[in-house]
Chains A and B, each alone.
Chain A
Amino acid sequence: MNGTWLMMNLRAVRGRAYPRLIGLTREPSWMFFEIALPLLTVSAYAYIYKFMAAKPEFVGYVILGGAMTAFWLNVLWAMASQLYWEKETGNLSLFLVAPISRMSILAGMALGGMVGTTIRAISTVFIGVFAFSVVFSLTDPVALVIVFFVTLVALYGMGMMFASLYLLFGREAYHLSNLLTEPVYLASGFYFPVRYLGFWTAAGASIIPITLGLDALRQIFFPSGAQDAFLPIWTEIFVLAILSVAFLILSKFSLDFMERLGRTTGRLTLRWQ
């Protein structure tokens, strides 16, 4: 690896991130579909907790979960499925012919997705806080930054790995994303503390980075709900860091495998396969 190679790949990351970032200003309809609509789900859960006279923290958990939903959907529909769509439009061939690491294309998608989705997630939190008068108490800003960072890296690392695997599934990728949407809301505890699913279920669900990320965020923002925590914050940060590295390495391997397989079978450059 030399400086020229690094610069070339950094430019590629920036190039691929650009359509995602500029899309925020060019297609404002996302505000309705990705902020207003998810708030309806958040509201439904919030009202259930209110009518049940649950602890006030639970409404806060729901808002946090609603915000993190944006990341999960972005990873499924705009990361994992993306290479498949790129193949259908003919972009994938052009990415493959370019003299860059394929990881920089995925990193560009991830970076663009993270920035765009963070704006959406923060919007959801603000509107949720305003609508339901939830008080967030930030106890440890350093932990917040680290949790948020490792959660996103692990989550988007998983999306990068899925991107290659989805290519192998071809048209079934669409069904796979559908299949992974709702069950993960339950397994990862998007709208309730995951520890109530039992230790082993929560531990199994922790393979999806958002499970531990959400649990840690709940602890950071709502210290009064410490008894709802699954694992201590720093343990979760440690596991998320391991997941980040593991998913990035696995995504590199799956990408190389997919490319080799594609070059052997010829399927990567054929549409509708």
Chain B
Amino acid sequence: MELAVETKSLTRVFEPKKKKEGKSVVALDSVDLRIEHGELFGLLGPNGAGKTTLLKILSTLLLPTSGKAYVAGFDVENEFHEVRRRINMVSGGEISGYGLLTVKENLWMFSQFYGIKTKVALERIDQLLELFNLEEKKNEKVRTLSTGQRQKMNVIRGFVTDPEIIFLDEPTLGLDVNASKVIRDYIVDWVSNGKNRTVLLTTHYMAEADQLCDRIAIIDNGKILACDTPDNLKRIVKTNTTFALDVTMLENKDALGVIQGVDKFMFSDDAEKGFTRLKFVLTDESAVSDIVSEIVKSGSKILSLKKTEPTLEDVFIKMVGKGLD
């Protein structure tokens, strides 16, 4: 079955303009990716990892040095006209468009480059402006918009052409919580409400990738280090599970340490507040029920119970050897 995006040993090397000016930079190194239609796929990586280079190749702005890339089944190098009919792209921090045009005029202008009839374009623009809480700005000149409003407009520009596949390069970069949420919610709705709509998203934000993406590829130094669902990626670092419990003062704690499945057991008493804090590292998660039974049997009362899950950040650090910031 045809894939939305497929790369085979995709490599991109940037040569310096003059040999004296420095060394070649390998931006992508034999990247193999397979993205199904209908997926919301994330690329997670630090600055200079090769995320934007990959998006530029897939969106036909850049040629690979070697290897192949296909979008909607078309070769990005030789069949780029077909690719362009099916895609759109949005980058974080874009300043595209013309400041003297209004928001609505700008969006209409870009829709014309995709041959969309004016009536259809204007209907879609109105709907999207409403969804993005930007309708009151539709007749304002673009140069008067705030960063967040401008980025919302950029995202609308990408979706107004209703592409099969959209490439989003850090679409919520530098935006406040509300503006980011509006954009994230829309991306999820767009993918789930249309047949075979595909999103390839790059991001710096772990929580964004975790929340949005069906699958995530972690990329660093031009190589894909891991590619799976967020849950499966977390399992890479998930060897033990940690539980933290606060209980009313517990006298006999020895019995807890010998329960099967408990790897480590720590406690601390807070006599002043009258509770005991227990921490368990479990090799078998089902041991938690035995722990709870033992505590109740001893006459103590559970005040709180919290399970600590591994995060994408833990996965990222394990793979890349450093955090994003």
- A105 nearest CB neighbor, chain B only: B113
- B59, A97: Cβ atoms closer than 8 Å: yes
Given A89-B95, A98-B84, answer yes or no on A7-B115 (Cβ-Cβ < 8 Å): yes
Q: Which residues of A contact B94 (CB under 8 A)?
A: 90
C-alpha gap A14/B114 in the complex (Å): 12
Residue in A4, A19, A266 whose beta carbon sits within 8 Å of that of B115 in the complex:
A4
A172 part of interface (Cβ distance < 8 Å) = no
- B65 nearest CB neighbor, chain A only: A264
A182 part of interface (Cβ distance < 8 Å) = no
Size band of the interface chain B makes with A = 20 to 34
A47 part of interface (Cβ distance < 8 Å) = no
Nearest-neighbour CB distance to chain B for A210, whole angstroms, equals: 27
C-alpha gap A19/B143 in the complex (Å): 14
Main secondary structure of the interface of A (DSSP, over half): helix
C-alpha gap A93/B98 in the complex (Å): 14
Nearest-neighbour CB distance to chain B for A4, whole angstroms, equals: 7
Q: Which residues of A contact B91 (CB under 8 A)?
A: 90
- A-B interface contact total, Cβ < 8 Å: 90
C-alpha gap A16/B98 in the complex (Å): 10
Nearest-neighbour CB distance to chain B for A125, whole angstroms, equals: 27
- B111 nearest CB neighbor, chain A only: A15
- A8, B110: Cβ atoms closer than 8 Å: no
C-alpha gap A26/B144 in the complex (Å): 14
Q: Which residues of A contact B110 (CB under 8 A)?
A: 15, 94, 98
- B100, A22: Cβ atoms closer than 8 Å: yes
Residue in A7, A95, A97 whose beta carbon sits within 8 Å of that of B88 in the complex:
A97
Nearest-neighbour CB distance to chain A for B84, whole angstroms, equals: 4
B89 part of interface (Cβ distance < 8 Å) = yes
Nearest-neighbour CB distance to chain A for B311, whole angstroms, equals: 33
- B100, A23: Cβ atoms closer than 8 Å: yes
- A95 nearest CB neighbor, chain B only: B113
Would you list 20 pairs from A and B whose C-beta atoms are within 8 A, ordered by A residue? A11-B112, A15-B113, A16-B112, A18-B105, A89-B96, A90-B91, A91-B96, A94-B89, A94-B96, A94-B113, A96-B60, A96-B61, A97-B84, A99-B84, A99-B85, A99-B113, A100-B113, A262-B61, A266-B62, A269-B62
